[in-house]
């Protein structure tokens, strides 16, 4: 049996701990936020912003109706944008 390098064991343990804590934290995070459409500024959406876009940061205008941003759960529909539009829990296709 080869001698194990203690520093490699520490690094491996840290990586394993980080991965396991992420897996545990993800469901809790998901419960605390909701997707809110029409509230992201241009280029600041959290993911898919409709046809012709791929993911995070691809919205082309402020408050793009089919781009979403994660917001605290229960707050989306009370968010009023500077243009008078409100956040929506569903895609408000343009």
22-75 residue pLDDT tens: 444 455 556 799 999 999 999 999 876 556 556 788 888 999 988 899 999 999
- Whether 83 maps to a domain, the answer reads no
Structure tokens given for 38: 């029409």
- pTM (2 d.p.): 0.62
- Evaluate if residue 2 carries a pLDDT over 80: no
Residue-level length of the chain: 94
C-alpha to C-alpha distances, 9 to 3, 5, 13, 77, nearest whole angstrom: 11, 7, 6, 48
Counting the structural domains of the chain, the total is: 1
- 20 near 12, Cβ under 8 Å? no
Residue 11 and residue 91: Cα distance in Å, rounded? 43
pLDDT at res. 20: 43
Q: Residue 30: which domain range?
A: 6-78
Confidence of residue 94 (pLDDT cuts 50, 70, 90): low
Give a yes or no: residue 84 inside a domain.
no
Going by C-alpha positions, the residue among 9, 8, 66 that lies closest to residue 37 is: 66
Tell me, yes or no, whether 18 lies in a domain. Answer: yes
pLDDT score, position 33:
92
Does residue 41 lie within any of the structural domains?
yes
pLDDT score for 5: 55
């Amino acid at each position: 049996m080869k001698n194990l390098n203690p520093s490699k064991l520490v690094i491996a343990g840290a990586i394993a701990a980080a991965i396991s804590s992420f897996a545990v934290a993800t469901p809790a995070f998901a419960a605390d936020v909701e997707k809110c459409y029409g509230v992201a500024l241009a280029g600041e959406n959290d993911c898919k912003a409709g046809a012709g876009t791929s993911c995070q940061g691809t919205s082309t205008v402020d408050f793009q109706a089919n781009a979403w941003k994660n917001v605290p759960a229960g707050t989306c529909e009370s968010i009023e944008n500077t243009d008078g539009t409100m956040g929506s829990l569903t895609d408000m296709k343009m």
